[in-house]
Amino acid sequence: MRRRIHSHITRALAIAAGALSLLTAVGASAADLPTTKGPPVAPVYVPPPFTWTGFYVGLNAGGAWASNGHNNNGLFPFVGAIPLGTFVPVSSHSSNNGGFIGGVQAGYNYQFTPGSGFVVGVETDIDYANIGRNHSATFPAFTLPQFPGTIFSPALGVNNNHSNQYLGTVRLRAGYAWDRFLVFATGGFAYGGVNNASVGAGVIATTAPGFVVPTTGLVAAVPTTTAIGIGGTRSSSTKTGWTIGGGVEYAWTNNITLKAEYLFANFGNNRSAPGVFLPGIASAFNNRGGSVDVNIFRVGLNYKFW
């Protein structure tokens, strides 16, 4: 009996050992089979939000229109019967002439929060300007008690030609960006170079017979006409003032931006007094005052360094 039990146990152990060997062999074979599991998935790249922060340089081109308003008065400071400082109305005149403008700019922007957020910065530019303006004024006919019998009539008006050589600004900028689209306001200091050319005023003196001719001091035997005038002048100067405006800008790439802007610049008031010199008395002046305003519209291309 004991021998039979021992025989059964021995047989069971042999079967278990065989089963274990079979499972081991099957596992090893399965390990050698190709796997269907793919390579690890790479993380999705999310680019950082765009920022306007950085230095930039660029080019611009567009048009500018100079508007000048003038009030003209003839001031005749003669000594005698006509009180000193008598004004004779001459003319009120305005002109609006446009031309090409183009040049370079550079600046720096700082954006408080990348993506969408407030942007502040500073920009300076200098442009070639081809803007010309012409103004003219004529004197009315008048008489003087110093020269009875003589009528003074306008012969040549005061003709002033102004041309801008260049325009420049130094401005602050402030705006709001929606990712790559920026809307901004701007304002600051403006300056410009101006060429001036003036043709002098002139008068025709018509003296009746029996009266003294102003230019010669002789008594006219017949109606006598003489011309009195001054020459022209040329000068160059730099005007300063202020500017304000606004615009939009779009970042085409991380480094290239495109912009369009409008600026209004004011260069203050100008006064001039070309005169007619009458022998033996004093000078007759055309006292001319006016403001110089420039409207600028231009587009630009910038390269942002980072």
DSSP 57-85: EEEEEEEEEEEEEEEEEEEE--SSSSPTT
Q: Which residues does 216 contact at the CB level (< 8 Å), separation at least 6?
A: 226
Cα separation, 288 vs 272, in Å, equals: 5
Cα separation, 35 vs 219, in Å, equals: 129
- Helix-strand-coil split of the chain, %, nearest 5: 10, 65, 25
Cα separation, 306 vs 296, in Å, equals: 29
Q: What is the separation of C-alpha 277 from the centre of its chain, rounded to a whole number of angstroms?
A: 42
Q: What is the pLDDT of residues 281-299, one digit of tens each?
A: 444 444 444 567 889 999 9
What string of pLDDT tens digits covers the 306 residues of the chain?
566 655 656 665 566 566 556 555 555 554 555 555 667 777 887 778 999 999 999 999 999 887 765 544 444 444 333 333 344 444 444 455 778 999 999 999 999 998 899 999 999 999 998 886 655 555 567 777 778 888 877 665 555 555 668 899 999 999 999 999 999 999 999 998 876 655 555 677 889 999 988 888 888 889 888 877 655 556 667 889 999 999 999 999 999 999 999 999 998 765 554 455 555 544 444 444 456 788 999 999 999 997
DSSP 220: P
What residue spans define the domains of the chain?
Answer: 54-304
Q: pTM for this structure? A: 0.63
The maximal CA–CA distance of the chain, rounded, in angstroms, is 181
Kindly tell me the burial class for residue 42, based on how many C-beta atoms sit within 10 Å of its own C-beta (0-12, 13-18, 19 or more): exposed
Backbone φ/ψ region at 55: left (φ over 0), alpha (ψ -120 to 50), beta = beta
Q: What is the pLDDT of residues 110-146, one digit of tens each?
A: 999 988 999 999 999 999 988 866 555 555 677 777 7
Contact 129, 169 (CB under 8 A): no
Cα separation, 274 vs 283, in Å, equals: 10
| Amino acid at position 244, single letter | I
